[in-house]
């Protein structure tokens, strides 16, 4: 038995026991992937969940994807023959900037924090969605997917979805909208004028990006430059929307002529910190014909499941504990790389390249999917 046969046999056993219920399944397009290609075949449809389950048990794939869109004829081809009806808005939070082979604590924490900001600071606070209209699942590898289940949002065009992503990431946000410039005489007898910068009233009662920038500003390093004896006075004034004292302190630090540029920089930094870094492939959100990982299906690059999550349990979620579904029966493998301190199911493992080792079955699946090991 080779590695692929071993993995697919185990995947079949999982699907034989797993409960995978797809909402409006008869209106969805499905796609399946091999080890080499995540979506190798698509334009497939199923009349019900039992039919899908039989497919997954009898012909287990490495990847299962389904459409965010709902169609009249989901198996129609080409795409314009499907009869598009609507499409859920889906966000992909992926720690793509961390180039590690194995799931790591740092990248998962970044992804969790970004998912929290997306849901609480944007989708709920700014777009007015309730938690019952949002579904979160682990992607199966290094991030999370957030599904918006709202009929109004399902009708958004590609352009409107792009605007939504741009708003959430702060793309194209003009800092000038948050402050005004005025000119005042240095003294009544002089013609020279001094440029004054005044932030618009940013405080806790601000909405949208105004509130986000206010919150980030209040935590900024610029406040750390203010003398301790003045800090609380300046913060109290700023919290009420009066930033005059703040700018007075900045002038002392940088000089009047430099304050303008530093305020612009400060707001730019605040936007970057407050925005959510959506997966660089914004097509996940904007493409109304996109296929996305099926929740609770196996991710062929990790052997972990794309587990559905209760939002309140997200912060405690650890995929290498909670998304592991295979047993602990011991199996012999041969590592194809040196492996150091890989955590899974409460244990940490290290292996030397090309040296046989006996490991729990769930670790064998994980390493084989990562192509970090082979069977003897």
Do 268 and 348 lie in one domain? The reply is: no
Q: Are 157 and 317 in contact (CB under 8 A)?
A: no
| Same-domain pairing of 342 and 208 | no
263-295 pLDDT, tens digit each? 667 778 788 888 887 765 688 999 999 999 999
- Of the pLDDT bands very low, low, confident and very high (cuts 50, 70, 90), residue 193 is very low
Residue 358 has phi, psi (to 5 degrees) of -95, 130
Q: Would you call 21 exposed, middle or buried from its count of C-beta atoms within 10 A (0-12, 13-18, 19+)? A: exposed
Res 191: pLDDT:
45
* Whether residue 151 is found in the same domain as residue 285: yes
Q: How far apart are CA 285 and CA 156, in angstroms?
A: 11
Q: Are strands 84-87 and 89-94 parallel, antiparallel or unpaired?
A: unpaired
pLDDT tens figures, 218-265: 887 777 788 888 888 888 888 887 787 887 887 777 766 666 556 667
Q: How far apart are CA 373 and CA 358, in angstroms?
A: 12
3-state secondary structure at position 147: strand
> Tens digit of pLDDT for each residue in 322-362?
999 999 999 999 999 999 999 999 999 999 999 999 999 99
Contact 344, 362 (CB under 8 A): yes
Residue of 369 and 239 predicted with greater confidence: 369
Residue 74, pLDDT above cutoff 80: yes
Average pLDDT, stretch 79-100? 88
* Residues 121 and 162 grouped into a single domain: yes
- Tell me 268's DSSP state: H
Same domain, 76 and 219: no
Q: Alpha-carbon distance 63 to 302, whole Å?
A: 11
CA 269 to chain CA mean position, Å = 20
Assign residue 19 the CATH number of its domain: 3.90.920.10
- H helix or E strand, kind and range, residue 292: strand 291-293
Query: Looking at residues 145-168, what average pLDDT do you find?
Result: 96
Please work out, in degrees rounded to the nearest 5, the angle formed at the alpha carbon of residue 69 by the alpha carbons of 110 and 295.
Answer: 45
Q: What is the mean pLDDT of residues 188-214?
A: 67
Q: What is residue 75's predicted lDDT score, i.e. its pLDDT? A: 98
What pairs with residue 86 in β-bridges? 70
User: Residue 131 pLDDT > 60, yes or no?
Assistant: yes
Rounded to the nearest 10 degrees, how much is the dihedral formed by the CA atoms of 256, 259, 261, 263? Answer: -160
Instruction: From 205, 207, 198, 164, select the one nearest 178 (Cα to Cα).
Output: 198
Do both 69 and 180 map to the same domain? Answer: no
> Residue 33: which domain range?
3-170+278-322
Q: Looking at the structure, tell me whether residues 134 and 36 fall in a common domain.
A: yes
Same domain, 257 and 315: no
Contact 140, 299 (CB under 8 A): yes
Q: Is residue 190 over pLDDT 60?
A: no
Residues 251 and 291 in one domain: no
Domain boundary among 239, 255, 274: 274
In 3-state terms the chain splits into helix, strand, coil percentages (rounded to 5) of: 40, 20, 40
The pLDDT value recorded for residue 98 is 56
The answer, yes or no, to whether residue 10 has pLDDT greater than 90, is yes
Does residue 289 sit in the same domain as residue 232? no
pLDDT at 167: 93
Q: Do 161 and 100 share a structural domain?
A: yes
In the chain, the number of structural domains is: 3
Higher pLDDT, 302 or 173: 302
**Both 8 and 122 in a single domain?**
yes
pLDDT band at 83 (very low <50, low <70, confident <90, very high): very high
Task: Inform me whether the pLDDT recorded for 189 exceeds 90.
Answer: no
The percent of residues in the chain predicted with pLDDT above 90, rounded, is: 63
Domain boundary residue, one of 322, 341, 358: 322
Report the C-alpha gap between 239 and 255 in whole angstroms: 24
Confidence of residue 184 (pLDDT cuts 50, 70, 90): low
| pLDDT at residue 192 in the model | 47
pLDDT at 251: 75
* Omega prior to 78 cis, within 30 of 0: yes
């Amino acid at each position: 038995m080779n590695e692929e046969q071993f993995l697919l046999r185990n995947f079949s056993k999982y699907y034989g026991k797993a409960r995978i219920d797809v909402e409006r399944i008869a209106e969805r397009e499905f796609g399946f992937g091999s080890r080499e290609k995540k979506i190798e075949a698509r334009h497939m449809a199923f009349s019900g969940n039992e039919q899908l389950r039989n497919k997954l048990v009898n012909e287990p794939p490495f990847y299962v994807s389904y459409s965010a869109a709902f169609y009249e004829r989901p198996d129609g081809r080409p795409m314009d023959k499907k009869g598009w009806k609507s499409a859920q808005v889906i966000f992909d939070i992926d720690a793509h900037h961390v180039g590690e082979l194995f799931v790591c604590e740092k990248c998962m924490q970044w992804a969790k924090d970004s998912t929290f900001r997306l849901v609480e600071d944007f989708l709920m606070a700014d777009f007015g969605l309730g938690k019952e209209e949002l579904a979160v699942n682990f992607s199966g590898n290094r991030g999370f997917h957030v599904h918006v289940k709202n009929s109004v949002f399902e009708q958004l065009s590609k352009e409107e979805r792009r605007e939504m992503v741009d708003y959430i990431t702060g793309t194209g946000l003009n800092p000038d909208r948050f402050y005004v410039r005025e000119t005042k005489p240095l003294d009544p007898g002089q013609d020279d004028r001094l440029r004054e910068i005044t932030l618009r009233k940013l405080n806790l009662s601000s909405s949208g990006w105004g509130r986000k920038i206010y919150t980030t500003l209040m935590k900024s390093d610029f406040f750390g430059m203010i003398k301790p004896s003045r800090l609380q006075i300046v913060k109290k004034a700023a919290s009420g929307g009066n930033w005059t004292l703040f700018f007075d302190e900045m002038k002392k630090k940088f000089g009047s002529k430099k304050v303008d540029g530093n305020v612009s920089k400060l707001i730019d930094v605040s936007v970057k910190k407050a925005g959510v870094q959506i997966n660089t492939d914004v097509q996940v959100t904007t493409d109304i014909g996109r296929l996305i990982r099926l929740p609770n299906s196996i991710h062929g690059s990790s052997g972990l499941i794309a587990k559905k999550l209760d939002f309140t349990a997200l912060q405690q979620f650890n995929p290498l504990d909670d998304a592991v579904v295979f047993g602990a029966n011991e199996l012999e493998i041969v590592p194809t790389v040196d492996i150091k301190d890989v955590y899974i199911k409460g244990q940490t493992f290290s292996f030397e390249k090309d040296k046989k080792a006996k490991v729990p079955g769930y670790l064998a699946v994980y390493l084989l999917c990562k192509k970090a090991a082979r069977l003897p």
